[in-house]
Amino acid sequence: MVHPPDVRLDGAPAPVAPHPLDNAAWAALTGPHAHLAERVGRAARYPSDVAVFAALADPADPAAWADLHRLVGPATDVAVPGADAVPEGWQTSGGVPGVQLVDTALRAEPDPEAVALGPADVPEILDLIARTRPGPFLPRTVLLGTYLGIRHRGRLIALAGERLRLPGWTEISAVCTDPGHRGRGLATRLVRAVAAGIRERGDTPFLHAAASNTRAIGLYESLGFTLRRRTTFLEVRTPGTAHAPEAL
């Protein structure tokens, strides 16, 4: 007798597998970005000069938090997307409420003025990031994926690129424009251009934004992104002892 794949033999509904976007950093660090990952058991992180994120296989699993403590060491700050709370002995400075949006109707297209950026462009990228503050960007963040920019008289004035990459999905991030060049649609053009490259390899674009950044969220929704879920980017500090308590 053939049973539907979503029904157990006893007639009860089968457990629904979690969606990879529900724990995107873990799916990236154990998937397409595994070559960048530092990992201990059920915890993984990006190198500290690549990205600020760590991830847990299951943020509700105390053993995963213990693995994270062993991975990053005592009294260390790290961002854990998707975690709602920390175990006893850990500290948190609170989280940044955010939203996750997915491409449902984006018009993706290359841009003739967009240029690929790489390690040699990092000083310019960091300067633009410092002036526009779209979110964390570190000296080797460019290793995460394709970054595109637009220049004006040789100077970098707009940027967008790829951050988390997981099976079937790629995050668009670092979207920013020099204050003196806003209002010209440069961010829109770069989001569409980055999305074109993501779609070309068969992935679907998604992105995150601070929940308080209603202007950016409105822009993304107007471009064809749809709110999928609300999340929190939790900033945590590991316990100060050399070994996490077994109770973790």
Q: Out of 6-15, 24-33, 56-65, which region has the weakest mean confidence (pLDDT)?
A: 6-15
- pLDDT for res 247: 34
- Residue type, position 88, single letter: E
Position 101 pLDDT exceeds 80: yes
- pLDDT for res 37: 98
If you average pLDDT over residues 31-52, what whole number do you get? 98
Position 232 pLDDT exceeds 50: yes
Distances (CA, A) of 4 to 9, 10, 12, 15, 18: 9, 12, 11, 13, 19
- pLDDT for res 2: 44
Q: Say how far apart CA 42 and CA 166 lie, in whole Å.
A: 17
Which of 247, 233, 245, 186 lies closest to 82 in space, CA to CA? Answer: 233
The phi-psi region of residue 154 (left if phi > 0; otherwise alpha if psi is between -120 and 50; otherwise beta) is: left
Higher per-residue confidence, 4 vs 225: 225
Position 6 pLDDT exceeds 60: no
The answer to whether the pTM exceeds 0.85 is yes
